Structure 1
Amino acid sequence: MWDIMLFRMNNCYKGEIWLCVEGVLLKNDYRCAFCLVYGAHTRAGKLAVWEELSFIAGLCQVSICYMGDFNEVTQVEERKDQDRLTASAEDFKSWVQDMQLVDLPLNDRNYTWFRGSSCSRIDRVLVSLEWTEEFPEIRLKGGPRGLSDHCPIIVQNTICRDGLRPFRSLDSCFTHEGFLRMVREEWRNLGEVQFTDKLKALTMPLRRWHKDKFGDMDKKIQHFEEEIKKVDELARNGVYDGTSEARRKALVSCCKQWYVRKKIHWKQMSRSKHAKDMDKNTRYFHNLASARRRNNRIDGLIINGRLVRNQSRIKIAIRDFYKYLYHQERSPVVGFRDGLVNRIDEEESIALERLLTSEEIREAVWDCESSKAPRSDGYNMNFIKKCWDEIGAEFTKAVMDFF
């Protein structure tokens, strides 16, 4: 903040145990505020600090980043040997949620404060939703503790190239009236191919179709909103007739449809299990998806005693590890002497060897949660259910061949 080539300060505010600097990040001309916090020790003192920090956010009216020692946890796992959250911790957690702040994950360590056998994660960085939208790659890294009882926290905004994104069937596609027709045509064009190979081949036309029809949903929404604004301007100028009214209704309907598609998309990407009442908060699900992506990324891996950060080498090492872990080993033949194990009767034996029926397979599919994927090919059960009329027979045959 002291480097005038990076940051231009407009205002500075300070309390007893916090300091806030509001200004502009010059690299991208981004208005924001940084607030350094040292948390109080009593519950009453902490409540007073949370109220002051809420006030300063309203005063600055820009995206804000709180960082420092908050002297409080938000999860039971953040304090060693703790089995429940204290009333003070519940207050802090409620404040974070009420302010719609994102608690950035710290992946390289569990605790940031140490004293004797006591360990806690009381140092953290909380940012507003606007911050994560402007810096989607923001993440935390812990530094060496040295002689201090705290670990320093480093905030980074580095873009990590992970290669091509894996295919994933998206539920939002089913809101388009032409999607199932496209799947039907592409599926038939693939001809008589093994079921799993057919699914793999289908990913390419699905990718192209999604990019063509659903590419940049925000721009499509913005276009409809601008057109609605133009119609409203005409109405204000006295130019409004039956044609204008019909056009406005059609534009509103299309815009609403794209909002629904965007909501479905980000809810699926976030994998949120929250109540349906929160479904309308697309921005909330977008933030969850971004946080989940940051949290799941593997930046470095120790391979043969060496820290490796090359993404290609990391992927190869992970693949080889699980390939070795799950390879089939030759098992010794084990026999049982008569009388040690009870035999099943003939009727039970026939029942065990009986082939599955198509009705049983369909029932099992519909019993699965739609968002779950049976394998790593990117297709979830919702895709199988929606496209059952086209691929159901081949899916059933593939299952029966497997058994």
Structure 2
Amino acid sequence: MVGLVETKKQVVTRFDVTKIWGQDGFGWEYVGSEGASGGLLLIWNDLIFKMNNCYKGKRVDKNHVWEELSYVAGLCQVLCYFLGDFNEIVREEERKGASGLTRSAKEFKNWIQDMSLVDLPLSDRKFTWFWGRSCSRIDRALISLEWLEEFPDTRLQGGPRGLSDHCPIIVEDRKLTDGLRPFRSIDSWFTHESFLKIVKEEWRSLGDKQFTDKLKALTALLGRWHKDNFGEMDKKITKFEEEIKRIDDLVSNGVYDGTMEARRKALVTCCER
């Protein structure tokens, strides 16, 4: 299960979700952004989860949000699981430089306790939101005890935040056995001048073979072609992402100077390109 906050997208399409999830077999719901601000996206494996009801609302006062969530949980009477940007911390160490909890943070902490929710620990990072030298852990997954009994191996981890202020957070229960591998293409292929030509020539050369056999042959050909034309690019992108995370980790640990933000912006620009 994947939750993305601050998508900054007013409309999310199935094509967008497929690019994130990587294959079929998913369900999804989203709340569109208001201009370039906000936006939520939730994706789940529909072999495990089945959506019966969906409730969406506009976020207003925090206390009002907690009341609405309590109402929804009481109305549905099912396993509870809340995921997203709660814009609040529950421990001092979740915000760099914090000297105590604000009133709203204490109210949020009390709400979690009143609801008997388990705040899943984040296994691979300390903070989920960054703005300059400011860091906070405001994105979280809260699950009920009943959920934990049904899915005892539930874990939470963060993904690379890339261009966003927030890190995506990923909830996993267990690894599923891989099925048949789908045919996939990469957007950047279509920017290469020889891509469409090589696809057309290969497809015609395969003649009257079955469609699935053609796809298998095309997959092998494009694998070699990708390695020749884009192989080093994959390594460069990975290197950029690792360096971006390294800067985030330094900021998380209190190491910050004026050059770091400029360095990160330069890395992001290179990664985008």
TM range (shorter): 0.3 to 0.5
TM superposition score normalised by structure 1: 0.32
TM superposition score normalised by structure 2: 0.47
The structure richer in helix per residue is: 1
